[in-house]
Amino acid sequence: ATPTALMVGTGCGAKMGVLIKNGEVLEAVNDVKTVVFDKTGTITEGQPKVTDVVGDEQRVLTVAASLEEASEHPLAAAILKRAKALNLTGQTAQQFQAVEGKGVQAVLGGQTAVVGNHKLLADFKFDAAMEQREAALQDAGKTVVYVGVDDRIIGMIAIQDVPKETSKQAIADLKARGLKTVMLTGDNERVAKAVANEVGIDQVIADVLPSDKADHVQALQKSGKVAFVGDGINDAPALTVADVGIAMGSGTDVAIDAGGIVLVKNDLRDVDRALALSRKTFNRIK
């Protein structure tokens, strides 16, 4: 590629809201075989909302909100918002602890309370009816967290984050180009599959710890160049390891710094537009 063609290419990108940090990135885009997406905030809106509360709603939400007060997770924001809408006031939590990929725990009025998934509540007794309800909610694309006090489960909360309006079209465009699409998420497999089906993603890798995202990208690189699209702090290692790191403009600064391309308009269809631009730029010069 001549310097002029590259400048024209990156300039065209900037005009459509696709910031390309350098010509090397634009060239790498041309050879991408697989596009890997983070789920929350990338494929979905990133504004999860509480849709269902199983158990004594006031008690379940009060306990959950008391713990989530100290958490910065998007799920926490959803729970706090719902508790506030119902005018519930939390208790003061002590010895708060966030457990990566699992949930949160703390002491509330002398009792140990937890909010999280099965991995966090490994020692609890789950009854079959509750697990059935959990599976049904997850199949509807909702993330389910259990709420436990001492060693009893007092209920669960279902939280939904809907796909962005353009996600489905964006995936279809990439697949039409012959690319493989993958979702990489810390969320549960049922939820991930439900969302993936909704937008047409080929493969799901779920229950991934934030610290393992980059390893999964490296494994996928064995079958060709990989682009990773993400927005979170925990996406930065994957954005760096990928052949092309694509950060959402609405994402965290850490993600934006790690990405070689930034989608200013937060429109996933711009991934395909960046591919088209790369082809155009590099075919012109050969």
Residues at the interface with ligand ADP (CB under 6 A): 39-40, 68, 71, 73, 75-76, 101-104, 115-117, 143, 145, 185-187, 210
Amino acid at 146: Y
Binds 161: which of ligand ADP, Mg ion, none (CB < 5-8 Å by kind): none
Binds 104: which of ligand ADP, Mg ion, none (CB < 5-8 Å by kind): ligand ADP
In the structure encoding, which two tokens stand for residue 246, read together?
């694509």
DSSP lists the bridge partners of residue 55 as 155
For ligand ADP, the closer of residues 228 and 282 by Cβ is: 228
Active-site residue identified among 38, 161, 231, 272: 38
For ligand ADP, the closer of residues 116 and 259 by Cβ is: 116
For Mg ion, the closer of residues 60 and 242 by Cβ is: 242
Which span sits near Mg ion by CB under 5 A: 41-49, 56-64, 172-180, 191-199? 41-49
Contact in structure between 117 and 188 (CB atoms under 8 Å):
yes
Cα–Cα distance measured from residue 21 to residue 7, given in angstroms and rounded to the nearest whole number: 11
Contact status: 187 vs Mg ion (CB under 5 A): no
Taking only Cα atoms into account, the Rg of the chain, rounded to an integer number of angstroms, comes to: 21
Which of 23, 41, 163, 260 forms a contact with Mg ion (CB under 5 A)? 41
Question: Shortest Cβ distance from residue 279 to Mg ion (Å)?
Answer: 28
Residue 257 annotated to the active site: no
Contact in structure between 25 and 261 (CB atoms under 8 Å):
yes
For Mg ion, the closer of residues 141 and 148 by Cβ is: 141
In the structure encoding, which two tokens stand for residue 205, read together?
């890798």
Contact status: 40 vs Mg ion (CB under 5 A): yes
| Interacting residues of 88 by C-beta distance below 8 A, sequence separation 6+ | 58, 61, 62, 65
Residue showing the smallest CB distance to ligand ADP in the complex: 186
Contact status: 231 vs Mg ion (CB under 5 A): yes
Number of neighbours of residue 45 by Cβ within 10 angstroms: 17
Cα-Cα-Cα-Cα dihedral sign, residues 257, 261, 266, 271: negative
- E strand residue ranges, 56-160: 93-99, 103-108, 111-116, 142-149, 152-160
**Catalytic residue set:** 38
Question: Rule CB under 5 A: which residues touch Mg ion?
Answer: 38, 40-41, 231-232
